[in-house]
Amino acid sequence: MMHVTAPGLRTLVQDAGRDGYYALGLPPSGALDQRSFRIANLLVGNDPGAAVLEFVFVGPAITFERDTHVAVTGATVEIAVDGVPQPLWTRLRVLAGQTLAIGPMSKGSRGYLAVRGGVDVPLQLGSRSTYETIGFGGHEGRPLVAGDRLPMGPSADVLASDTGAPSLPEELRPPLSAHVEISVVPGLCHYRFTADSVSLFFSTTFTISHEANRTGYRLTGAPMEFESRAQPFGAGDDPSNVVNLGYPLGSIQIPSGTEPICLLRDAVTGGGYVTFGTIVSSDLDRFAQLKTPDTVTFRQVSFEDALAMRRRAQSELTQIARLLGQPPHESTVPVEGELP
């Protein structure tokens, strides 16, 4: 078992997500920075989709009741085992009775703690992810509190892969900049915006507001304008209203033409505000590490570009898995190119 001695600001059990229930209004949830999450698992010899703890801004303190291996990835944060500082992105040995304490973050906004064997809370609809909006999944559907005890999945104490690299090389860790460029495929209700507004969207800088959580990030920036039309029946009178429609994960809606909202893995699955386009899935990892008042600019890409970006990200993860001594994960995508 792992014993939560301090919960951190908001710490949730997350995994690769709960796919297949979008039509029910149930988003996938899961780790917002999937790349950091998968690497944390690879470092400790887990299946890359095993459940971990995701924390924001201030991490938890966990006392382990058996010897194990752990790794902390994602945001830059100070960590210590029984008061002794330890490196991030590294497989760490923790003994029964020892406490891993995760301090405040200096860069990024989300960190991941993987333990060998995974966090073994019950599967709910095929996933251990927490969907906090309705208190579902994870550990009792809620953020951890002091005193919680979480089961760890069974695993051998020493694995063959423990001979692999124990640490992710610096150059493969995310830069966690306070400004990022994010790729967007225009589409959905993009036709509602004037050509000038579309150009503005792709040239202006937006700021992450304080309303930024696992459901979505609200941004502030230049206002967008709409093509004039008689509002269609059922949409509502505001020019940013549409007859309610589905919101893809990563989609960007712009209520009243101001304050774009980018939906993340706890997305609402639909609604009635005009949508502009969708962030490429592999860019959501970097996006989810932003926090107020970080800034973002958007780059227009085609659907084909998006697929190519996805393949590159998968191929890089496959190579990281090899580097860390793990068998290639479930992806069937062939490896392309070399690591940077």
Partner 1 sequence: MLATRSAHVLGDLMTKPTYIPFPADARLSFGGDEFIFIELSEDMRIAQALAIQSLAKTLTNLRVPGVIDICPAHASYMIRFDPDVLDLDSFLSQLREEHERAVSADLTTLSTRIVDVPVLYDDPWTRETLLKFRDRHQDPNSTDIEYVARVNGFASIDELAAAHSAHPFIVTFPNFVPGNAESVQLVPRDMQIQAPKYKRPRTETPSRSIGHGGAFTNVYPSFGGGGVQLLGRTPIDIVDLSQTRPGFEDRPVLFTAGTLLAFRAIDLDEYFDIRSSMEADTYRFRQAELEFSIDRHTSDWRGYNVELKEALP
Task: Please say which residue, 20 or 104, places its beta carbon nearer to partner 1.
Answer: 20
- The site for partner 1, by CB under 8 A, has a size of 71
Question: Whose Cβ is closer to partner 1: residue 13's or residue 101's?
Answer: 13
Say if residues 122 and 128 touch (Cβ distance below 8 Å).
Answer: yes
As a whole number of angstroms, the distance between CA 178 and CA 107 comes to 8
Q: Which is nearer to partner 1, 275 or 289 (CB)?
A: 275
Among 5, 6, 10, 21, binds partner 1 (CB under 8 A): 21
CB neighbours (10 Å) of residue 256?
14
Report, in Å, the least distance between residue 28 CB and partner 1.
9
Residues between 311 and 330 that touch partner 1 (CB under 8 A): 311, 314
The vertex-68 CA angle with 65 and 71, nearest 5°, equals 120
Residue 185 makes contact with partner 1 by CB under 8 A? yes
Between residue 285 and residue 314, which ones bind partner 1 under the rule CB under 8 A? 300, 302-304, 306-311, 314
Residue closer to partner 1, measured from CB, 9 or 243? 243
- Least separation in angstroms between CB 33 and partner 1: 16
Minimum CB separation of residue 301 from partner 1 in Å reads 9
* Residue with the two structure tokens 């927490």: 130
Touching partner 1, residues 34-63 (CB under 8 A): none
Beta carbon nearer to partner 1, 91 or 218: 218
The yes or no reply on residue 223 touching partner 1 (CB under 8 A) is no
Q: Does 258 bind partner 1 (CB under 8 A)?
A: yes
Per-residue contact string for residues 233-252; x = within reach of partner 1 by CB under 8 A: xxxxxx--xxxxxx-xxxx-
**Region binding partner 1 by CB under 8 A among candidate stretches 32-40, 99-107, 219-227, 229-237:** 229-237
Q: Of 149-168, which residues contact partner 1 (CB under 8 A)?
A: none
Q: How far apart are CA 14 and CA 229, in angstroms?
A: 43
Token pair, residue 184, equals: 């967007």
Backbone conformation region of residue 106, classed left if phi is above 0, alpha if psi is from -120 to 50, else beta: alpha
Q: Which contiguous run of DSSP H or E holds residue 166?
A: none
- Rounded least distance, CB 69 to partner 1, Å: 30
Residue 209 in the binding site for partner 1 (CB under 8 A): no
User: Which residues make Cβ contacts (< 8 Å) with residue 63, sequence separation at least 6?
Assistant: 2, 3, 5, 97, 98, 99, 100
User: Could you say which of 273, 285, 289, 321 contacts partner 1 (CB under 8 A)?
Assistant: 273
**DSSP state, 23?**
G
- Specify the amino acid at residue 94: V
242-247: Cβ within 8 A, 24+ apart: 242/189, 242/192, 242/272, 242/273, 242/274, 242/275, 243/272, 244/270, 244/271, 244/272, 245/188, 245/189, 245/270, 245/271, 245/272, 245/275, 246/22, 246/270, 247/271, 247/275
Considering only residues 82 through 141, tell me which ones interact with partner 1, judged by CB under 8 A: 124-125, 133-136
Strands 251-253, 261-263: pairing kind: antiparallel
Pick the stretch among 54-62, 82-90, 102-110, 179-187 that binds partner 1 (CB under 8 A).
Answer: 179-187
